A and B are shown apart, each in its own frame.
Chain A
């Protein structure tokens, strides 16, 4: 039996202003699997992602990462295992230089100086941004910022990579490069996006969220061809399928 790396049971969350963002969500992710989280705007995709590493605390239900229950006592342990890349790279990159940003996670995890340097070098090399350590974050181009954002979590050597809209605002060349980069990674990936073509290329399984409910889940090849289901939930067929 393949090991479950993420288990979500009866997860519900209501924002302090009363907006009901997630209702009784249930799904599992297997080790090494790539899961696409799709749905219209306001479906609860980003809210769901923020529960995986305990940034948001659920009102009801359970979240388990690598068998560890996500709660305040083991939050540090969980964050070692889950690397979250936020949609806006200006949110992800908050330190003055690229090196400090990529080293932020490893230093907090207690890596030694040598390990920090190695992990930063390794992560930057994986995203093809070696020799950018001394560059100032706000002087990077958008595509570069996206790549460095990914490096900031790769340097922590996580078990699960959680990506919120990884391809948003990227031009076609940078989008293609990002897909290539993610394809090469063997990590478990959870990708929330509107880019269904990206899901088709990267994810073996998909869940559909709508108004905070888990509307459907299944193999991406089958689910992303279901025009009626997609249109019912404010989505449409991926371009690559439309054109066939």
Chain B
């Protein structure tokens, strides 16, 4: 079965994909923190953040359409949070909060999508581990990344098996059988986890997954980080 790649622009030879993942994570985390800390009334500053986003998409050779479609997924949630505040705050403040919520959420999600889509996922995990994110968290993400598609395949197979034996394929009958499918999926996942653990132990696993450190920071990486932080600091001084 075919699966999508969440890091589909990590191998396109672009400048952004060649930046050291650790540096990229630091730069993008700074970017999101600065977005979050920008006061809601500084509309010009918030609009200015679109500039580095545009630069990142160009140097990462990431189609704007790809980013915009994915970023749109956060809009309903941001509007929902802002909408409730429309009534709990004075009129002007409520609208400002809605705008702030929406713009910051969209900008942050765009930044994260650029980071994820331009970095090889295994490298992203290694970089997170290098940046002292607890090993158990990176291990869980790593297994999720590895096995989510295996789980998806299992689910699809079960659904097909169900459909091939269903005379009545109504919504009601589908809902009735769903708990059984989910239960079976849980049991199979548990059994697979046991088997994977046995496989890991067979190859000398001892509580911690170790990988080779292949990263090397170059002048290009430092320059990228410097430019990003310099832009953010300058933006913070603009009081509009």
Tell me the A residues contacting B by CB distance below 8 Å: 50, 53, 55, 76, 79-80, 82-84, 86, 88, 90-97, 100, 103-105, 107-109, 113, 116-117, 134, 136-139, 152-153, 156
Contacts and interface: CB of A to CB of B under 8 A. Distances in A.
B212 A95 contact: no
B94 to A, nearest CB: 45
Given A108-B204, A109-B204, A139-B3, A100 B199 contact: no
A228 B202 CA distance: 37
Interface in B178-200: 192, 195-196, 198-200
B203 A79 contact: yes
A157 to B, nearest CB: 12
Interface residues of B, number: 29
A234 to B, nearest CB: 24
A91 B204 contact: no
A100 B202 contact: no
A137 B148 CA distance: 12
Nearest to A50: B198
Given A96-B145, A103-B211, A138-B146, A76 B202 contact: no
B122 interface: yes
B199 A92 contact: yes
B132 interface: no
Interface string B139-159: 000110111011000000000
Given A100-B122, A108-B205, A139-B3, A55 B211 contact: no
A105 B209 CA distance: 10
10 contacts: A55-B201, A93-B146, A96-B125, A100-B122, A116-B212, A117-B212, A138-B146, A152-B203, A153-B203, A156-B204
| Main SS at interface, chain A | helix
A149 to B, nearest CB: 9
A40 to B, nearest CB: 21
Contacts of A117: 212
A175 B145 CA distance: 29
Given A55-B198, A100-B211, A108-B210, A138 B192 contact: no
Contact of A86 (B121, B195, B205, B209): B195
Given A95-B211, A108-B205, 13 more contacts: A50-B198, A55-B202, A80-B204, A82-B202, A84-B199, A86-B202, A94-B147, A96-B122, A100-B211, A107-B210, A138-B3, A138-B150, A139-B5
B121 A156 contact: no
A95 B120 CA distance: 14
Nearest to A108: B204
A156 B122 contact: no
Given A108-B204, A108-B206, A138-B3, A91 B196 contact: yes
Contact of A96 (B142, B150, B196, B202): B142
Interface in B128-142: 142
A80 B192 CA distance: 24
Contact of B142 (A80, A83, A91, A95): A95
Contacts of B206: 76, 108
A152 B200 CA distance: 11
A94 B3 contact: no
Nearest to A155: B203
A108 B205 CA distance: 6
A109 B204 CA distance: 7
Contacts of A95: 122, 142, 146, 209, 211
A84 to B, nearest CB: 4
Given A90-B150, A94-B146, A94-B196, A156 B203 contact: yes
A104 B211 CA distance: 7
Contacts of B204: 76, 79-80, 104-105, 108-109, 156
A95 B211 CA distance: 10
B76 to A, nearest CB: 30
